[in-house]
Chain A
């Protein structure tokens, strides 16, 4: 079975542009998580979906960030407008059998 798939793997954009990160969870997993990792703050949970419904978005930094999960096999994390401080690695994870499995991450650089 394929693991969690994320795209793009790398994204370089300019401040003010919209950025959309994509995630395909492992088939059969009904929970999906978006994380951000930086050197300064480590690994932070941004938002968590269960059965496609957002359960906890308390980690979303501000209104510039939004996430959707229109169906069980797809989720997006959007940043609009992007800022240099959003530069980080963004991970998507899906959970099965009490375990979160992570995608390879999207390395985002906002200039």
Chain B
């Protein structure tokens, strides 16, 4: 079975702090994709990053960075020097190559991040 766990339900930080959002996944697929999406208070779901299972290189995009570790089945997301505009719910998701699930996205429950001024 496939599963995504975001153990942190809510996180509250003060602006300029660094914050890491945890994501742990389970899958039996050898080929799979991991994603992070952001849902700000306005409600839209914004794609942030996709990672495939063969690429364990960490990625940095501005203040955002992602750490993918197959050994621990984790795909963690770090925001450096957080800003109020980072306040949102962040979802981690998994898509496998298993034809049985038609490559649907398996979603975590999300982590609500509040960045306070």
Contacts and interface: CB of A to CB of B under 8 A. Distances in A.
Nearest to A43: B107
Interface string A43-63: 101001010000110000000
Contact of A42 (B43, B46, B109): B109
Given A56-B104, A99-B50, A101-B47, 10 more contacts: A43-B107, A48-B102, A50-B102, A91-B45, A97-B50, A98-B50, A99-B35, A102-B37, A104-B44, A105-B43
A105 B104 contact: no
B104 A102 contact: no
Contacts of A105: 43-45
Contacts of B90: none
A43 B45 CA distance: 11
B87 interface: no
B50 A45 contact: no
Interface in A85-111: 89, 91, 93, 97-102, 104-105, 107
Contacts of A107: 43
28 contacts: A42-B107, A42-B109, A43-B91, A43-B107, A45-B104, A48-B104, A50-B102, A55-B102, A56-B104, A89-B43, A91-B45, A93-B45, A97-B50, A98-B33, A98-B50, A98-B52, A98-B95, A99-B33, A99-B35, A99-B47, A99-B50, A100-B105, A102-B44, A102-B45, A102-B46, A102-B47, A104-B44, A105-B45
Chain B binding surface SS class:
strand
A56 B100 CA distance: 11
Q: In the complex, which range does the number of interface residues on chain B fall in?
A: 10 to 19
Contacts of A97: 50
Contacts of B110: 42
